[in-house]
Structure 1
Amino acid sequence: MGRANKSEVSTVTQREAGVAEAGRRGAVSITEYEDLGISAFKGDDRPDFDRLLKDCHDGRINLIIVYYISRLSRMDPLDAIPIVTELLNLGVTIVSLTEGEFRKGNLMDLIHLILRLDAAHSESKNKSDAVRGAKKTARELGGYLGGKPPYGFRMIPVTRTTSGGKPVVIQLLEHEPDEVWVIQDMWARIKEHKDMPYQPGGGRRHPGSLTGICAQLNADGVPTKGQRVGKKTKDSVWDPKTAMRILRDPRIAGYAATPVYKRREDGKLTSTIDCYRIERDPETMKPVQAYPPVISPDDWHELQTWLGGRGQGKGLSRGHAVLSAMDVLFCDCGAVMTSHRATTPNKAAYRCRRRRALPGQHEGECTISMQTLDRYVARRVFALIQTAEDDSETAVVLAEAARRYAAQTEQPEIVGERRSLITERADAKHALEELYDREEAGDYDDPVGRRRFRERRERLLGRMERAETRLAELEEAATPTLPIHLWLPLGAGDVDPVGEGSWWEAATTQERRDFVKLFVRQVTVTKASGAGRSTPVEKRATVEFVRPEQSEGDAAAADDSWQKEAFVEAI
């Protein structure tokens, strides 16, 4: 069978005609085989075709009826003939309702069948070449080739002229007004509420969360794209995954981008988008601006930073807790700790969120005073800063804190560019490894194969080199300097760094979070030693400071001289 509703004769018509022909021939049993949406030309897996061959081998089938012989195979005749010959030798008669009957023992039937197989293959190959050529021309003229337009856009036909003077109609993307305002409204809500304190519970949704935004869109009756233009998706509703995919799409910032699809365990591509690869100028490695932006590139990069921070205890400003909002606070049983607000600030606490105890874990609840733990962690950080001059280990921590501070204060588009370049480099490296694996397997043994191997290797090495060069430029332009004079003014050595009149006391909750996140990787809290006893916080809390993320080669090169230089740079 062909593709549902897309072939020149529908699958329903083909099926009915085949069943009728089988009935006229006195068939005792009729079995239908169809691989809808699977090409008989590309060599894709055809489960029902394989089942048909097995049934013929098992002697269950002695007559195959197809509407066109191309329904059976569009492979190269050299690949298709052995299969067809085997079927004929098994005593199977092949009937094409439009091209005749083919059986064993008739040389003219076999010649005719070979000619029809060759014609089917040539037709598909010519169509494939024509489509490939048309896409290449459209791409050169700036046409959109991504299939359905992304949310926020619609396709319009535009006539362009080739270098040879031939007019060609291509598709361009322009804004879809009914969808553009939805994206802009999503971002406006996120931007308005993402830093506002929010107390969860009571069935409330954060107005700046994707869940809250989708709930509001559904309540307001804003149609999804499926409701507007789809048939199978006319009953769809807004959900966070859809909103995430729309907001992650670089095309809403005007960037040319290609969707990257997820793969199954067997390596086959699925139709689910995993991420997007931004297309870059091969010389400058800067993103290609191809479409009118729905939101500005700066806003889009800021949005990506927020989306990347979403998750348990991240991305949303939940109340006034410092540590539980940063994904750094854990109980020693491995569970995260969350904030529990009380009527007065000094009664607020952090509490273990473990669902049930496992063997060897603490019994009952594990709670600790929020104010006490916050101040203890802050004092540990300030002590680290004040006693760092002659400690090489502390220099490494400060160097990493300086890097994080640069990332916090860097313009969102620079952060986004660096992240994209790292992805580009990793993608090129992965493709290069696959290329070498194929070369070792002997896929490029012939002269043409070796030439193509060298060409692709040079392209991939060039991509990696250009990404590395641009990353080096960004690193060189960064000037990470920690504002220690703001946190610890000169002459403040004898003053409590978290007491009255200190920077910590005057800082907002978000400023405190940003400060702690620069230096602290994880805080682990153990249960108090006994009921009714007051265990000192320093015996219950363990603070782990940040360290640079290094490869083995990088770690070996991190000697004392580098650490001292990093310390000077940080301060």
Structure 2
Amino acid sequence: MTYERQSHKSETDSQASPKMQRNKSVAYINSQDNWTHIDTDYSDIGLSGYDPNVYRPGFERLMEDARARKFDVVVIYMLSRLTRQGAAEAMQIQQELAKCGVAIVSTQEPFINTSDDNPFGVAFFALIAGLAHQESKNKSKFIRDAFKELKARGSHSSGPVPYGFDAEPVQVDKITVRKLKPGTVSDADIGPESTPADNVRYIIAQAEEGAKENAIATDLTERGARTPLGSLDEKAAEARRKASRARRKGGSSDEADNEWSSTVVRRILRDPRLAGFAIGPVDPKTKHREILRDEEGQPVRPHEGFIGPKRWYDLQAVLDGRKRTRRVDRAGTLTFLGSWGALRCGLCDAGMTVSNADETYVCNLRRSVGDVPKHVLRIKMKDTNNVVAALLWAKVAALDPGDDDDVALLAAAAERFAVQGADPEAAAELAEQEAQLAHVQKSMKELYADRDDGLYEGPTGRAAFKDTIQKYRAHETRCAARVDELRAAASTATRLPLEAWTGNGDDDPLAKGGLWSRWDVPEQRAFLSLFADHVIVGPATTKRGTAFERIRERVEVVWATPDEGESDNNSVTA
């Protein structure tokens, strides 16, 4: 009979292929006089011969059948296929087989033949076993060093390929690395026939529109879209289940075959590889993968992502609640103030959405959160639009260059207008640099918090903290400097067209047929964003006065301030 083993689960024509080993062994058996091949599968695929803790079912069946004296000779391709644990382990196997009247023969090492008519066979067997063990030790060190080198270059060097991606080998500085790229995209609707790449794109789009992870998971489940586990073949899926159970040490898996969970959706959205970044270690508190950075603190970006870095950084801000999300309401209606974060509830500071049924802006907090009780806050949509527009234009018309507060507002508006009207390429770079700056500052705050919680104690922990924070600081400094440079260039190249907006004072922009009515909703939003950070709506306190007056009592506009005065651009320090 024959025995084959391969450490990796791939049936190829390589030298290590079980099929090739089997063919060589069977050919050797057929070449011997009076030998008959017993066609029983004793192979072990994807199992190490070096690790003593690995259970090899094929090898155990072989030893059991040897004890039952079902065969006389074990034919192997090379001794390293039988074991790599050293001479002592090899001799123990040989002696146990010998007690059962079973010899060992190697097709590629003819001096390994432990039959009774070969007195030197056992001695050679022990010698080769010792060499195989040393080779495995050297190979293990080589693999560790190779993985370290590949990781430094951002290669996807181990583990399963992320959901929605394909991996291809590419040459980088004469080293082969595995580059990730989005998988196949189909024309199918999201459901049983959609590909993993289709599903990833859909998840990103839904999150960018403001949908929560649990809502996305429910939607995908109802559509029948295949989960990461359900997209694998049966063997790979079972291996993933076993690994998942081992990590959890019991409990349910979040990767059921046909049911999505918010955990899986969140893991996909938080993965830096969506933007082509290489991944570093897992943050011990957030459990999110960190971006791998080079010695200068720059993100390593070797892969082809689903989205660009700017969109990924913005997506993280959306998930963290730091960025306005949906620009339309659930019915797809685009309104001046609703569903984009500009209008905020004065009771809980949440963004207000649109109720098309009664044409109101609404905040509906269904349960108490902290000190904030559950509530429903409504305000008439049309009247609120008119009040905010009137306050906005009144402020713009009354701007006084001699008033310090107005000068600050003009500076903020000019800066924002410069960014809106900047060269598209420069504007895109500025947006990405600002997003990178916000992300690295958030990461620095989390790192300091981890240190304060005792996660970097001891010499090794302190060294790891120091190395990471130095990279973050270097990247923060570069981003901040580039942001200032781009903002200065944009501000120099543009100025606020106040005269075009306000005319000579005789034209009312809010009159029928005036400038405000000629602008569409995106233009109105853009104009509001120049001069205001957001609008706060308080609860109704009176029923007296006109509708306009009652709304006016409830509305407060928070005017813009220059970015130089905001904490977001300040360096994060301990």
Q: TM-score, normalised by structure 2?
A: 0.54
Distance in 1 (CA, whole Å) between partners of 2:402 and 2:508 is 22
Q: Aligned AA for 2:477?
A: E
Q: Aligned AA for 1:258?
A: I
| Deviation sequence 1:406-461 (CA, Å, 0-9, x none) | 565664454233322443356468768988999x98849xxxx9xx96x9858854
Q: Does 1:417 align with 2:433?
A: yes
Distance in 2 (CA, whole Å) between partners of 1:430 and 1:522 is 30
For 2:184, the equivalent position in structure 1 comes to: 177
Unaligned 5+ residue runs, structure 2?
A: 1-46, 58-133, 187-193, 242-254
For 2:284, the equivalent position in structure 1 comes to: 263
| Deviation sequence 1:151-197 (CA, Å, 0-9, x none) | 233445789998xxxxx9865545543799643576479779989xx
Contact 2:345 2:537 in 1 (8 A): yes
For 1:378, the equivalent position in structure 2 comes to: 389
Q: Does 1:495 align with 2:511?
A: no
Residue 476 (structure 1) shift:
1.1
Distance in 2 (CA, whole Å) between partners of 1:146 and 1:259 is 13
Q: 1:5-16, aligned counterparts within 5 Å?
A: 8-9=52-53
Distance in 1 (CA, whole Å) between partners of 2:372 and 2:223 is 47
| Deviation sequence 1:126-164 (CA, Å, 0-9, x none) | 9985553232244467742353222233445789998xx
Q: Does 1:525 align with 2:534?
A: no
Q: Provide the aligned length of Structure 1 versus Structure 2.
A: 404
Residue 317 (structure 1) shift:
0.7
Contact 2:397 2:502 in 1 (8 A): no
For 2:354, the equivalent position in structure 1 comes to: 339
Question: Equivalent residue of 1:339, what SS?
Answer: strand
Q: 1:23-422, aligned counterparts within 5 Å?
A: 132-139=144-151, 143-145=155-157, 147-155=159-167, 171-173=178-180, 176-177=183-184, 182-183=196-197, 187=201, 218=221, 221-229=224-232, 230-231=237-238, 232=241, 233=255, 235-239=257-261, 242-253=264-275, 255-259=276-280, 261-264=282-285, 272=287, 274=288, 276-277=290-291, 279=293, 282=296, 285=298, 287-291=299-303, 293-295=304-306, 297=308, 301-302=310-311, 305=314, 308-309=317-318, 314-318=325-329, 319-334=333-348, 336=350, 337-341=352-356, 348-355=359-366, 367-388=378-399, 389-405=401-417, 411-412=427-428, 414-422=430-438
Residue 316 (structure 1) shift:
4.1
Residue of 532, 545, 553 corresponding to 1:539: 553
For 2:484, the equivalent position in structure 1 comes to: 475
Residue 527 (structure 1) shift:
0.8
How has the CA–CA distance of structure 1 residues 544 and 477 changed in structure 2, closer, same or farther, with 3 Å as cutoff? closer
Contact 2:444 2:469 in 1 (8 A): yes
Distance in 2 (CA, whole Å) between partners of 1:247 and 1:476 is 31
For 2:76, the equivalent position in structure 1 comes to: none
Q: 1:422-461, aligned counterparts within 5 Å?
A: 422-424=438-440, 427=443, 443=459, 460-461=469-470
Residue 472 (structure 1) shift:
1.1
Distance in 2 (CA, whole Å) between partners of 1:193 and 1:129 is 43
Residue 227 (structure 1) shift:
0.8
How has the CA–CA distance of structure 1 residues 301 and 247 changed in structure 2, closer, same or farther, with 3 Å as cutoff? farther
Distance in 2 (CA, whole Å) between partners of 1:222 and 1:466 is 39
Q: Aligned AA for 1:223?
A: R
Distance in 2 (CA, whole Å) between partners of 1:176 and 1:331 is 42
How has the CA–CA distance of structure 1 residues 276 and 540 changed in structure 2, closer, same or farther, with 3 Å as cutoff? same
For 1:203, the equivalent position in structure 2 comes to: none
Question: Equivalent residue of 1:145, what SS?
Answer: coil
Distance in 2 (CA, whole Å) between partners of 1:367 and 1:306 is 29
How has the CA–CA distance of structure 1 residues 237 and 316 changed in structure 2, closer, same or farther, with 3 Å as cutoff? farther
Question: Equivalent residue of 1:227, what SS?
Answer: coil
How has the CA–CA distance of structure 1 residues 352 and 235 changed in structure 2, closer, same or farther, with 3 Å as cutoff? closer
Q: Aligned AA for 1:225?
A: P
Q: Does 1:505 align with 2:517?
A: yes
Q: Aligned AA for 2:148?
A: K
How has the CA–CA distance of structure 1 residues 317 and 541 changed in structure 2, closer, same or farther, with 3 Å as cutoff? same
Residue 529 (structure 1) shift:
1.2
| Deviation sequence 1:25-78 (CA, Å, 0-9, x none) | xxxxxxxxxxxxxxxxxxxxxxxxxxxxxxxxxxxxxxxxxxxxxxxxxxxxxx
Distance in 2 (CA, whole Å) between partners of 1:531 and 1:156 is 70
Question: Equivalent residue of 1:327, what SS?
Answer: coil
| Deviation sequence 1:254-277 (CA, Å, 0-9, x none) | x3321553435xxxxx8x4x2542
Q: Aligned AA for 2:163?
A: Y
For 1:27, the equivalent position in structure 2 comes to: none
Contact 1:260 1:276 in 2 (8 A): yes
Contact 2:544 2:550 in 1 (8 A): no
Cα RMSD of the aligned pairs, angstroms, is 5.5
Distance in 2 (CA, whole Å) between partners of 1:488 and 1:161 is 56
Question: Equivalent residue of 1:353, what SS?
Answer: strand
Q: Aligned AA for 1:526?
A: P
How has the CA–CA distance of structure 1 residues 252 and 188 changed in structure 2, closer, same or farther, with 3 Å as cutoff? same
How has the CA–CA distance of structure 1 residues 544 and 190 changed in structure 2, closer, same or farther, with 3 Å as cutoff? same
Distance in 1 (CA, whole Å) between partners of 2:307 and 2:184 is 16
Contact 1:313 1:324 in 2 (8 A): no
Distance in 1 (CA, whole Å) between partners of 2:449 and 2:216 is 42
Contact 2:343 2:534 in 1 (8 A): no
Contact 2:365 2:375 in 1 (8 A): no
Q: Aligned AA for 2:518?
A: A
Distance in 1 (CA, whole Å) between partners of 2:160 and 2:480 is 34
Residue 523 (structure 1) shift:
1.7
How has the CA–CA distance of structure 1 residues 499 and 340 changed in structure 2, closer, same or farther, with 3 Å as cutoff? farther
Q: Aligned AA for 1:398?
A: L
| Deviation sequence 1:498-552 (CA, Å, 0-9, x none) | 2223332122223323332331333223314148985543333222223356478
Question: Equivalent residue of 1:324, what SS?
Answer: coil
For 1:75, the equivalent position in structure 2 comes to: none
| Deviation sequence 1:190-220 (CA, Å, 0-9, x none) | 779989xxxxxxxxxx9x9977876665566
Pick which of 230-239 and 383-392 moved more.
230-239
Contact 1:429 1:460 in 2 (8 A): no
Q: TM-score, normalised by structure 1?
A: 0.54
How has the CA–CA distance of structure 1 residues 408 and 257 changed in structure 2, closer, same or farther, with 3 Å as cutoff? farther
For 1:514, the equivalent position in structure 2 comes to: 526
Identity %: 21
How has the CA–CA distance of structure 1 residues 160 and 146 changed in structure 2, closer, same or farther, with 3 Å as cutoff? same
